[in-house]
């Protein structure tokens, strides 16, 4: 998924002015920066033979959650999939021939607490089709979002409930500029105290607003179940299987994008550290749209602060 963390798109009006979108981005990123003002606490060493007081950082985990995304799309397809609003937001990449895209998603992320994360950044991409070569790499969207655990299982019988919400705005501004809103609600039922194995269930809702009346994109909903297992060496495997229901779209004089209800599969393999921070991840997704659309994601976070 900008996905639910291994443990770690706020509606706006159509035709949003450039300066307002830019101001929102600047303000939000400013707020993120405020969260990482240095704060230091000191902890007493408990060793009986050592009374030295050590400095312990209480700064939140801060990093660039770099994601490199390769996607294939069949002809006349609009694919959203699991937590992928940037793909849906950029209608400028749509064409009738089948296509391939390569994108880099760069969200600056702050884990405010173990259960709350804020992020904002941009995506750059290049696209080719069966009748055209690869385009120049260019920034295609920016995004803002948060993820929060609204309830923690803590060994009880009620699963942890996590909400993730992302707003994505395509750039540059042109008649088909879009704003997408992607929200995921996921339940995580851990089977042990360490939360190294368990079951998942969730729902994702994506709405894409187009600035022009020349195009309309109807909502996309994904419902899914899954499971995860983390080995002692901190490698973690997560699988999700679900049904995607897309209500169709109309874009200019292109053939209409028909509504469909089709299966979708996603597998994540992540290397975690002892504090449940992701060190590396690879995601493979296949979504029937109704023809298969494939996606491969490499996650290589760059940490500025990692406790």
Q: Is the pLDDT of residue 211 over 50?
A: yes
Question: Is residue 6 classed as helix, strand or coil in its secondary structure?
Answer: coil
Q: Where residue 125 sits, what CATH number does that domain have?
A: 2.40.160.40
Find out whether 162 and 148 touch, Cβ atoms under 8 Å: yes
For residues 129 and 23, the model is more confident at 129
Residue 47 lies in a domain: no
DSSP string, 101-133: EEEEEEEEEEEEETTEEEEEEEEEEEEEETTB-
Question: Is residue 26 classed as helix, strand or coil in its secondary structure?
Answer: helix
Residue 292 lies in a domain: yes
Q: Domain residues for 68?
A: 18-35+63-305
Phi and psi at 6, nearest 5°, equal: -60, -25
Residue 96 lies in a domain: yes
Cα dihedral value 201, 10, 111, 279, nearest 10: 60
Q: ∠ CA(297), CA(303), CA(307), 5° rounding?
A: 125
pLDDT band at 296 (very low <50, low <70, confident <90, very high): very high
Most confident range, picked from 13-17, 42-46, 56-60, 173-177: 173-177
Q: ∠ CA(258), CA(259), CA(263), 5° rounding?
A: 120
Q: Cα–Cα distance between 198 and 159 in angstroms, integer? A: 10
Q: ∠ CA(100), CA(89), CA(121), 5° rounding?
A: 95
**CB-count burial class (<10 Å; 0-12, 13-18, 19+) for 295:** buried
Q: What percent of the chain has pLDDT over 90?
A: 51
Residue 131 tokens, joined = 């009748």
Residue 148 lies in a domain: yes
- Tally the domains of the chain: 1
Sign of the dihedral through C-alpha 169, 242, 1, 165: positive
Residue 2 lies in a domain: no
Phi and psi at 76, nearest 5°, equal: 55, 50
Find out whether 160 and 187 touch, Cβ atoms under 8 Å: yes
Residue 11 lies in a domain: no
For residues 20 and 180, the model is more confident at 180
* pLDDT score of 118: 97
Residue 27 lies in a domain: yes
Q: Average pLDDT, whole number, for the chain?
A: 81
Find out whether 120 and 144 touch, Cβ atoms under 8 Å: yes
Q: Cα–Cα distance between 71 and 92 in angstroms, integer? A: 16
* Strand residues in 45-98 grouped as ranges (E): 53-57, 61-64, 67-73
Predicted TM-score (pTM) of this structure: 0.79
Q: Is the pLDDT of residue 54 over 70?
A: no
For residues 155 and 89, the model is more confident at 155
pLDDT tens digit sequence for 285-294: 999 988 898 9
Residue 1 lies in a domain: no
Residue 195 tokens, joined = 């939360």
* pLDDT score of 4: 56
Q: How crowded is residue 45: how many other Cβ atoms within 10 Å of its Cβ?
A: 11
């Amino acid at each position: 998924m900008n996905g639910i963390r291994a443990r770690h798109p706020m509606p706006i009006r159509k035709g949003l002015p450039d300066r307002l979108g830019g101001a929102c981005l600047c303000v939000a990123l400013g707020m993120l920066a405020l969260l990482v003002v240095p704060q230091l606490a000191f902890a007493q060493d408990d060793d009986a033979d050592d009374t030295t007081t050590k400095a312990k950082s209480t700064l939140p985990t801060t990093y660039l959650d770099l994601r490199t995304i390769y996607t294939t799309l069949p002809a006349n397809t609009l694919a959203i999939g699991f937590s992928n609003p940037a793909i849906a937001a950029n209608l400028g990449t749509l064409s009738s021939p089948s296509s391939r895209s390569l994108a880099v998603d760069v969200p600056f992320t702050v884990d405010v607490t173990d259960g709350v994360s804020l992020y904002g950044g941009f995506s750059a991409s290049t696209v080719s089709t069966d009748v055209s070569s690869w385009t120049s790499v260019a920034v295609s969207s920016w995004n803002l979002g948060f993820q929060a655990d609204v309830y923690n299982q803590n060994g009880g019988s009620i699963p942890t409930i996590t909400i993730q919400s992302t707003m994505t705005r395509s750039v540059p501004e042109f008649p088909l500029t879009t704003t997408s809103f992607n929200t995921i609600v996921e339940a995580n039922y851990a089977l042990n105290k360490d939360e190294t194995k368990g079951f998942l269930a969730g729902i994702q809702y994506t709405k894409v607003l187009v600035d022009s009346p020349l195009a309309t994109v109807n909502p996309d909903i994904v419902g899914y179940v899954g499971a995860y297992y983390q080995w002692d060496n901190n490698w973690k495997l997560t699988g999700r299987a679900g049904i995607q229901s897309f209500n169709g779209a109309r874009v200019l004089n292109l053939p209409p994008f028909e509504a469909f209800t089709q299966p979708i599969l996603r597998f994540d393999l992540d290397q975690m550290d002892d504090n449940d921070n992701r060190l590396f991840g690879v995601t493979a997704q296949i979504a029937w749209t109704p023809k298969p659309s494939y996606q491969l994601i490499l996650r290589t976070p760059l940490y500025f602060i990692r406790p």
